[in-house]
A = this chain, B = another copy of it.
Amino acid sequence: MRYFNTRRTVRRYTDAQVPEELLSEMIAAAAQAPNTGNMQLYSVVVTRTAEGKARLAPAHFNQPSATSSGSVLLTFCADFNRFEHWCKVGDASTGYDNFQAFSWAVIDASIFAQQFCAIAEMNGLGCCYLGTTTYNAPEIARVLSLPSRVVPVTTIAVGYPVDDDTPMSDRLPLEAIMHKEVYRDFSDDDIRRIYALKESLDENRRFVAENGKQTLAQVYTDVRYTREANEHFSRLYLDFITSCGFKLPE
C-alpha cells in the first residue's frame, strides 16, 4: 500500500535505455491482468528507435516525455483485428462492429496499460500517460501502420527517472470519490471543502495568476480543456472509430 500511496508521474528520464528483455517481461506480466471474456482485445506498439519517436512525437504535440532520448513509448490500442482474424480462420461469424464491443476493448486496453504502469514503477521505472492519444488517433494509427479495427486508446512514456524530486500530485479527499451504498450528491459547500486543498496549493494559485483567471476551474475550462478543442477532437476521434468499423446505433 505504501508503495502505491506515494507513486508519482515521471516526465524526465535519464539517457539509460530500458532493456528490451525487461520491457518484454513487463508487458507479458501486464497481460496477466483481467480482461473481458479472455478475448484480450488489445495490443501495444513499442516505439523505441529515435526515428520512430521522431515520427510519433508530433502526434503528442512533442511533449518532453515523448521526445526524451531515454523514454520508450507504448501505444495501447483497442484491437479487434487479431480476434476477428481468429474468428474468420475458425469459420465463426462475428458481431463486433458496434459500440459495446468497442467499450470492452477500451476498458481492456486501459486495464492492461495500468497494470504495465504499476509493474514498471515497481521495477524502478517512471511513467507518464500521454492523454493526447485520443486527440490524434488517426495520425498515430498512420505512423504505427495500424490496420483497420485497431484504435489507439492511451500511450505510456516509460524510462528511468531523473532523480529530481518530482512532487506527488495532489488528490481529492476520499469523500469526493467514494460513495457508500448509494451516490451521495454534493452541496456547494461540500464542493468548496473537497476542492479547498487543491485550490490552496502554490502551484495551482500560480496557474490561476499566470493565466489571468479568477479561479482554478476557469484554468481548466478556458485554457487546458476548452469546449472548442474538446468538440473538435470528439469529432476527429469518433470519425476515426467509425472508420475502424465500430458503428454507432441509429
Contact = CB atoms under 8 A, between A and B. Distances in A.
Contact of A110 (B28, B107, B177): B107
A91 B231 contact: no
A9 B111 CA distance: 14
A34 interface: yes
A69 interface: no
A82 B191 contact: yes
Contacts of A29: 1, 4-5
A40 B177 contact: yes
A66 interface: no
A174 B46 contact: no
Contacts of A249: 231, 234-235, 238-239
Instruction: State the oligomeric state as a number of copies.
Output: 2
Contacts of A147: 183, 185
Given A42-B177, A131-B104, A238 B227 contact: no
Given A4-B32, A30-B4, A227 B95 contact: yes
Contacts of A153: 107
Contacts of A145: 182-183
Given A6-B32, A100-B230, A111-B113, 18 more contacts: A1-B123, A5-B28, A31-B177, A32-B169, A37-B131, A37-B224, A39-B225, A42-B177, A43-B179, A92-B220, A100-B134, A100-B231, A101-B230, A103-B106, A144-B182, A147-B185, A235-B249, A238-B248
15 contacts: A1-B119, A5-B28, A43-B179, A52-B181, A91-B215, A91-B218, A92-B217, A101-B234, A103-B134, A107-B153, A107-B154, A111-B114, A114-B115, A146-B183, A147-B185
